[in-house]
Structure 1
Amino acid sequence: MTAPALISPQARDALSGWLDHLRALDGAAEKTITAYARDVAGYLSFLARHRGGTEGLAALASVPLTDLRAWMAQERARGVGARSLARSLSAVKGFTAYLADRAGGSDATAVLSARGPKFRRKLPRPLSVEGAADMIDTAAAQAAEPWVAARDRAVIVLLYGCGLRISEALGLAAEAHPLPEVLRITGKGGKERLVPVLPVARGTVAEYARLCPFDLAPGTPLFRGQRGGPLNPRLIQSVMEKARMQLGLPATATPHAMRHSFATHLLSAGGDLRAIQELLGHASLSTTQAYTAVDAARLMEVYQSAHPRA
């Protein structure tokens, strides 16, 4: 991480120490680390300009609410959205708490108790059960070569049948085949979870492996591109894009929508929210709870279209 020149060496070292702490103890993903580094470095640069110079760690941990609000106002003025600013504030709070634990005589109450901007959370956009099945069949029909069709079907079935992220599906090594009844997946932040594998998913992967013209030796990727290298996620995105246009589905019918569909359909069938959280690998239950809003919205649509008094 390269911090702006306005930040004092002491603050730069503290920021580096906090980021190392997040990597080592919290298992934060590298993309999260990069975003947090950028957010906090920008905040520290603002404070240096706003307060007329660099300050010690105790002062940085005791920033008053007026200065924090001035930083937030600057961010909004330069076009930062409410969702992004809420993430930046979360990073600033985490860093401030880290400083307060290490800097004597500091009072971090103002920063730690500050409320972020309100924003409307985007709800997941799942496909219907029929739409998910149509997507799998239509996407697989795009390929001229049987092994490529089998590959595309296998990947999309893993997204929908196991709730995997596309990076998780394409990250499977060749030795994962034949798929076990329970698959150990390493997700965001290096967090591991166990995912049951349906017979249909095991079957589609086995069919792909049977037709694949490349040697699926241990230590090599399970899913391959046309030349034998690792499969680029963009190829699956492109296949699904063509399929959704043929099916008349919205632009939200992406690979990640198959994972959303997995969760929503489980919930609709009476699945336990905590169990779905574990299957998806969500760190927080609040993330999984977004699917309850989707389910309620769909229920209201059915009610309004079918109730005789609606």
Structure 2
Amino acid sequence: MKNSKLWMVAGLALLAACSKKESVTNVTPVDPPHTTNRAMVLDYQPAPGQFINQAPEWVAGNSDQDLIAKAQTSLDNNNFVCLGGYGGYIVLGMQYAIPNVDDQYSFLVKGNAFTNWAEPGIILVSADTNNNGKPDDEWYEIAGSEYNSSKTIRNYQITYFKPDEKKIATPSKTDNNLSDTTYIRWKDNIGRSGYLSKNIYHSQSYYPQWKGDSITFTGSLLSAENVKDLSGTGVNWVSPALSFGYADNWANDNDNAKIKISWAVDKSGKKVNLKNIKFIKVYTGMRAEAGWLGEVSTEVTGVTDLTLKQQ
């Protein structure tokens, strides 16, 4: 009886062990919540500006794809990518979709804004509705603080013309920082025209050298009336931050830099209810220059997904 009992106990133990092993084997593993969300550069089309061909660097023979790859390297190394003057843009795809969580802050586009110097970039978002991993679904604008302003111009379009780098420069007679005030010609669709100036601090070409004889950009134009020289002598230029809803507008650690997906609107200005977004587009929203500081040009250093769960 003693031996039989021992055999029974052993058998039950073996059965339990087998059952336990089988139950563990059949459990579907659950991935832990991700704690990073890499922004991948899908397109980069800058407008002319003082950091163009430098951030990232263009070398002879480089194509669109080469510059996109270089822009990716810049973001991966926490360096900035310059979008140039009005209209220049970058398109980013997120590694994971960013959810729209109960009207909470969803993400921020990192820039290099600082006190009294903002270079606001207009932000658009898109969901991967057709699940093809490409930014070819409808774009929705983040309605920032100036979206409904009477000073914001819709359907604005500007064309920049490739300059003759060997032309005779026309230095400013009042600002020794400007080496050529008739450098890159531009015209827009509301009857205005002018030039993007060249300054003494950046001697390379400001026109994206991998592009043709002209480039055109279309979007909403933010008022630049607050970009001004407070000193009257050209030494104290300011560009105050807008209230909310833009890239490179507030310092990255300021709550006003954060964006809510629920601010997205369609082309008619109607609020949309997006479950999540996978793509982010940013373009320089102002056409303005500030003496020795150069043109207002949005810079992007990355994207922070504010919905990530911390382990």
Would you tell me which structure has more helix in proportion to its own residues?
A: 1
TM-score bucket of the superposed structures, by smaller chain: under 0.3
- When Rg is computed on C-alpha atoms for both structures, the one with the higher figure is 2
